[in-house]
Every structure is written in structure tokens, then in C-alpha cells.
């Protein structure tokens, strides 16, 4: 299915504890949908405990274009997005956070770029309200790291609001990866891409669940999923330690043959120095083993084939009748 199929637009809103914001966000999204009956809004409730699904039900009773899915467990925003895309019926799919920071009024601009031939349209942040300098610095470092050391190229200021052509959506659905960055995966796929600039607003209400721990986890998933740099770092550390050890052994031999001209005639006691060397080398070995462990864990996750998400309940027929996912 391509952009000429005429099957409307799907807007996917991943939501976790966003009941208050959804009450405002859903009508704004509906107001910016194309004027056809096949367009839809799919809210994916990532197992919230604040009445998020009740808000979706209320709007679904008023407007048949609103559909909802509740996941059986908290799977994370990227799996919630993938779930929504799996059941979206539109010729194009817009991914939009439910917290109100990204303006749904930008949807017509994304659609216009898509109709102009772009298969991926990024809404690129030019500025971010209500974000600390530390968060901005960490975000900038993440995007520089990804663009420098991985095989993907992301907008330098970040983008988590975007439109995908049906062709791209179908390919994403067929990729079985679990621990990955969906945004990085979209960039890695390629296709014809375009950008639309906007200002990201501060949250209108509530507290973001996007904690530092989750951000670090995403950064690790992105790096390990799209780069071999950590493995190259491990190899480089091993080579450096071997080289230093070999050089030290040579110096010990020279010291012995020259009657102590290198380290002195009496062998140094060196207990403190020895402990420092042992602790540093042991710590480095544990770091390297940890890097290998991260890759092995991700391999295990893919091999054992657990579902990426499980649908607990659907509203307006948004999810599968049997509750199974599209893993």
C-alpha cells in the first residue's frame, strides 16, 4: 500500500499515565485529521493506572475514529508505538506523544510533505521549553554519539514526532527486534526522508515518566543495536593492556641484566602500586565482560521469542480479537 491508496491517516498516541493530557490532546488531533471517514486515532495505553483507558473509551463513544489498545504489561513507549502501528489501517501513520508537548496542528504539514513524495517525515525540534540545561546537554551528546559511532543518521536536535508511509510501517512490523530504538531503526531503514521544524512545548500537566534511567537504557539499546564500537573498544583495551604488560616485562629483563639501572638495584616492594594495577585491570576486564554481556543478552532476547507486547483490551476494535500480539 502506498500514499496513493487513499485509505486515510492513522495517528498513534502512546500513553502512560496521560489521562489528564489525553482529554485535551484527542480533540486537537481529531481537528487536524484529513476530512475523510477512514482516518483514525489509536491511543495505546501502556498499562497505565490513572484511568487513561477510561478517557479513550469516553472519546470512542463520541467519535468512531478514536480507537484504543491497552497493553497487558508496561512494555515501554517504543513497543507501545509499534503496537499502535501494527493495527493502524491508514496509508500513512503519524507517531505523536500524548503529553501535549508536540503540536498536532503540525500534522497537515507532515501530510503535505508525504504527499510530495517523502516516505519518512521528521518533525525536528528547533527548541524545547521547560527542559533543563543538563537534559539538553545529555540529549545533544546522545545524538552526536549516534551520528558519529553508529550506522544511523538522526536529526541533530532530535525527533520523536514523525510520519511514516505504509511501506515503511509494513517493514517495521516485519522486523522482530525487541531491545532497540524505534527512531534509530526508522533512520536506519533509509527511504526518502524530509523534515519539518517546530518548537517543542513544555508539558501542560502531569509529570513525565521519561526518567534518566529510561533515557540511559534507550541510549544503550541504540548504541548496542546499531554499532560495533563497544566491541572495538574492548579489543583496543585488550591490546593496550597486552602492550603495556609486554613493555613492563622487557623493562624487568633489562633491569635484571643491567644490575638495577632501570628500577634500582633493590627490587621495589610496590604493594600499593601492585594493588592499583590489579584493581584497574580487574575493573577493565569486568567492563569488557559487561559489554559482551549486553550483546549476549540482546541475542538471547531475540532467540527466545517472547512477545514484544501483549494486548489486554481494545476499544472500537483497535486490537486483535484473541488478545495476542503481532510479534
> Is the domain of 37 the same as that of 113?
yes
Which of 119, 105, 115, 117 minimizes the C-alpha distance to 8? 115
**Residue 3 maps to a domain:** no
> Is the domain of 180 the same as that of 53?
yes
**Residue 286 maps to a domain:** yes
* Residue count of the chain: 327
> Is the domain of 132 the same as that of 259?
no
pLDDT on residue 325: 59
In the chain, the DSSP E strands lie at: 9-15, 40-45, 66-71, 92-95, 120-128, 161-165, 193-200, 311-315
Total domains, the chain: 2
> Is the domain of 24 the same as that of 158?
yes
pLDDT on residue 103: 87
pLDDT on residue 5: 43
CATH number of the domain that 91 lies in? 3.90.550.10
Identify the DSSP state of 201: P
Q: 280 vs 245, 247, 268, 285, CA distance in Å?
A: 13, 17, 20, 9
Q: What residue numbers bound the domain in which 279 lies?
A: 229-304
User: What is the three-class DSSP state of 81?
Assistant: helix
**Residue 38 maps to a domain:** yes
Contact 232, 158 (CB under 8 A): no
Identify the DSSP state of 208: -
**Residue 167 maps to a domain:** yes
For the chain, helix (H) and strand (E) counts, in that order, are: 10, 8
**Residue 20 maps to a domain:** yes
**Residue 324 maps to a domain:** no
> Is the domain of 221 the same as that of 234?
no
Set of cell numbers at residue 268: 621495589
pLDDT on residue 3: 40
> Is the domain of 61 the same as that of 184?
yes
Spatial distance between the Cα atoms of 325 and 327, rounded to a whole number of angstroms: 6
> Is the domain of 132 the same as that of 237?
no
> Is the domain of 113 the same as that of 234?
no
**Residue 170 maps to a domain:** yes
**Residue 320 maps to a domain:** no
> Is the domain of 186 the same as that of 139?
yes
> Is the domain of 178 the same as that of 167?
yes
Spatial distance between the Cα atoms of 305 and 309, rounded to a whole number of angstroms: 11
> Is the domain of 73 the same as that of 169?
yes
> Is the domain of 96 the same as that of 107?
yes
pLDDT on residue 327: 52
pLDDT in tens, the chain (327 residues): 334 344 789 999 998 888 888 888 899 999 888 877 688 999 998 888 888 888 889 898 888 889 999 998 888 888 888 889 988 988 999 999 888 788 888 889 899 999 898 999 988 877 666 566 777 677 777 777 777 777 778 776 777 789 999 999 999 888 877 767 788 888 888 888 888 887 776 666 656 666 667 667 777 776 777 666 777 777 777 777 777 777 777 777 777 777 667 666 555 555 556 656 776 777 777 777 777 777 777 777 777 777 778 888 888 776 665 455 555
- pTM for the model: 0.71
Q: 44 vs 14, 23, 72, 118, 213, CA distance in Å?
A: 5, 14, 11, 26, 22
Identify the DSSP state of 90: S
Amino acid at each position: 500500500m502506498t500514499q496513493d491508496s487513499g485509505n486515510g491517516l492513522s495517528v498513534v498516541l502512546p500513553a502512560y499515565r496521560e489521562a489528564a493530557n489525553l482529554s485535551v490532546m484527542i480533540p486537537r488531533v481529531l481537528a487536524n485529521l484529513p476530512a475523510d471517514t477512514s482516518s483514525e486515532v489509536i491511543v495505546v495505553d501502556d498499562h497505565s493506572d490513572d484511568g487513561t483507558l477510561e478517557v479513550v473509551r469516553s472519546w470512542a463513544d463520541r467519535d468512531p475514529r478514536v480507537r484504543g489498545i491497552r497493553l497487558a504489561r508496561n512494555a515501554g513507549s517504543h513497543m507501545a508505538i509499534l503496537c499502535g502501528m501494527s493495527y493502524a489501517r491508514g496509508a500513512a501513520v503519524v507517531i505523536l506523544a500524548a503529553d501535549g508537548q508536540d503540536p498536532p496542528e503540525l500534522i497537515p504539514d507532515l501530510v503535505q510533505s508525504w504527499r510530495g513524495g517523502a516516505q519518512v517525515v521528521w518533525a525536528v525540534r528547533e527548541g524545547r521549553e521547560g527542559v533543563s540545561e543538563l537534559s539538553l546537554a545529555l540529549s545533544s551528546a546522545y545524538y552526536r554519539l549516534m551520528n558519529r559511532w553508529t550506522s544511523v543518521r538522526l536529526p541533530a536536535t532530535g525527533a520523536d514526532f514523525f510520519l511514516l508511509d505504509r511501506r515503511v510501517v509494513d517493514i517495521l512490523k516485519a522486523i522482530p527486534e525487541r531491545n532497540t530504538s524505534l527512531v534509530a531503526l526508522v533512520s536506519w531503514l533509509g527511504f526518502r526522508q524530509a523534515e519539518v521544524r517546530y518548537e517543542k512545548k513544555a508539558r501542560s500537566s502531569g509529570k513525565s515518566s521519561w526518567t534518566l534511567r529510561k533515557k540511559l537504557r534507550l541510549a544503550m539499546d541504540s548504541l548496542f543495536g546499531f554499532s560495533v564500537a563497544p566491541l572495538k573498544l574492548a579489543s583496543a583495551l585488550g591490546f593496550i593492556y597486552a602492550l603495556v604488560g609486554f613493555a613492563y616485562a622487557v623493562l624487568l629483563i633489562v633491569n635484571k641484566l643491567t644490575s638495577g639501572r632501570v628500577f634500582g638495584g633493590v627490587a621495589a616492594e610496590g604493594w600499593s602500586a601492585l594493588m592499583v594495577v590489579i584493581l584497574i585491570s580487574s575493573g577493565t576486564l569486568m567492563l569488557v565482560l559487561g559489554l559482551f554481556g549486553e550483546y549476549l543478552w540482546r541475542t538471547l532476547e531475540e532467540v527466545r521469542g517472547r512477545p514484544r507486547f501483549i494486548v489486554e483490551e481494545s476499544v472500537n476494535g483497535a486490537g486483535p480479537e484473541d488478545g495476542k500480539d503481532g510479534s
